[in-house]
Amino acid sequence: MTERLNPNDIAKAAALLRAGHLVAFGTETVYGLGADACNADAVAAIYTAKGRPSFNPLICHFADARTAFKYVTPTQLAKTLAAKFWPGPLTLVLPRTPNCPVSLLAGAGLPTLAVRVPAQATALQLLKHFGGPIAAPSANRSGRISPTTAQHVLAALNGRIAAILDSGPCAVGLESTVLDLSGPTPVLLRPGGISLEALEAEIGPIQHATTALHAPASPGMLLSHYAPTLPLRLNATSLAADEALLAFGPPLPGANLLFQLSATKNLAEASARLFEALHLLDAQSPAQGLARIAAMPIPLTGLGLAINDRLTRAAAPRDKM
């Protein structure tokens, strides 16, 4: 059985991690499935619990930038972005330091490491208490919808992990933005909780990863990902009788089951509710005789880029997993 811990149990959660166990914990983005990043067996257990392809590298979480930059070598841009956006939903891919003790498996054997400092009080306390890097992918089964509540985590991983540290729902609700700073120019590997516009305002133009160039390096770019069980249709402007509605703004007529992402078309609100919406529509549709989910169009600006990224992958043909 997976033990439920609360924010008073930080010491216990840290002790479990130190002993090589898996502990899920809340961050501002989504719940992470944490392990001691320097313990190869513990990291291997993450891949097993998630059913994750072993080539997909994990993000290492730190209590602060000073600690993170002992494990990777920061560029000037990295220092600028860390000062501006950490703690926060930004992950930086940087070269490992020569004697970096993080298990090679955590980085899937790459010469780089993805690092971030989460903006969530309980997560930061856990990281401080633990003292070293915690490797943590999203705490869901590989390819499925990311978890934004402790409930979501338990539904997918109960019994497969030692404990979950319940810190309530995640405020941002979308994974961190992943930016590769290890090459000559910055490359956006995954849109996320910090918008491209906000990053470009600090450091100038950012190249978009092309699947052909970066897919092997960042398999989080796999086409089918974040997928509900039911098929998902994008940019719906009308609704079929067997469809549940993922609404953004005034809902399309005729929905028997709908989840409103944001009545006022607020993209931050929609981000925070996106995965909750997919979990709920997926769970409740069959009982209502509904077989598919239709999503209304969402603009591609600001956090809309990340929302559309997740929806596109959730809608992709499942044989592309």
Which residues sit at the interface with ligand TXA, rule CB under 6 A? 27, 29-30, 32, 56-59, 89, 91, 93, 107, 110, 112-114, 118, 136-138, 175-176, 178, 189-190, 217-220
> 2 contacts which partner out of ligand TXA, Mg ion, none, CB within 5 to 8 A by kind?
none
Q: Does residue 176 interact with Mg ion by CB under 5 A?
A: no
Considering beta carbons, is residue 52 or 96 the nearer one to Mg ion? 52
Considering beta carbons, is residue 167 or 176 the nearer one to ligand TXA? 176
Give the integer Cα–Cα distance in Å for 171 and 177.
15
Kindly state the smallest distance separating residue 56's Cβ from ligand TXA, in Å. 5
**Opening angle at CA 184, ends 183 and 185, nearest 5:** 95
Considering beta carbons, is residue 30 or 294 the nearer one to ligand TXA? 30
Considering beta carbons, is residue 166 or 175 the nearer one to ligand TXA? 175
Kindly state the smallest distance separating residue 142's Cβ from Mg ion, in Å. 8
Kindly state the smallest distance separating residue 72's Cβ from ligand TXA, in Å. 9
Q: What is the DSSP string of 162-184?
A: SEEE---S-SS-SPPEEEE-SSS
Local structure of 270: helix, strand or coil: helix
Kindly state the smallest distance separating residue 13's Cβ from ligand TXA, in Å. 15
- Binding residues among 110-149 for Mg ion as defined by CB under 5 A: 138
Kindly state the smallest distance separating residue 194's Cβ from ligand TXA, in Å. 10
> 152 contacts which partner out of Mg ion, ligand TXA, none, CB within 5 to 8 A by kind?
none
Considering beta carbons, is residue 285 or 308 the nearer one to ligand TXA? 308
Closest alpha carbon to 195 in 298, 309, 302: 302
H-helix or E-strand spanning residue 200: helix 196-203
Considering beta carbons, is residue 259 or 275 the nearer one to ligand TXA? 275
Eight-class DSSP state of 2: P
State the residue number with the nearest CB to Mg ion. Answer: 138
Residue 112's DSSP bridge partners are 95
User: Which residue has 């133009």 as its token pair?
Assistant: 205
How does strand 23-25 pair with strand 32-36? Answer: antiparallel
Give the integer Cα–Cα distance in Å for 203 and 205.
7
Give the integer Cα–Cα distance in Å for 202 and 261.
29
Kindly state the smallest distance separating residue 254's Cβ from Mg ion, in Å. 33
> 29 contacts which partner out of ligand TXA, Mg ion, none, CB within 5 to 8 A by kind?
ligand TXA
Buried/exposed 138-172: b ≥16 CB within 10 Å, e otherwise: bbbbbbbbbbbbbebbbebbeebbbbbbbbebbbb
**Opening angle at CA 52, ends 130 and 274, nearest 5:** 80
Considering beta carbons, is residue 245 or 267 the nearer one to ligand TXA? 267
Number of residues that bind Mg ion (CB under 5 A): 1
Kindly state the smallest distance separating residue 228's Cβ from ligand TXA, in Å. 17
Residues that bind Mg ion (CB under 5 A): 138
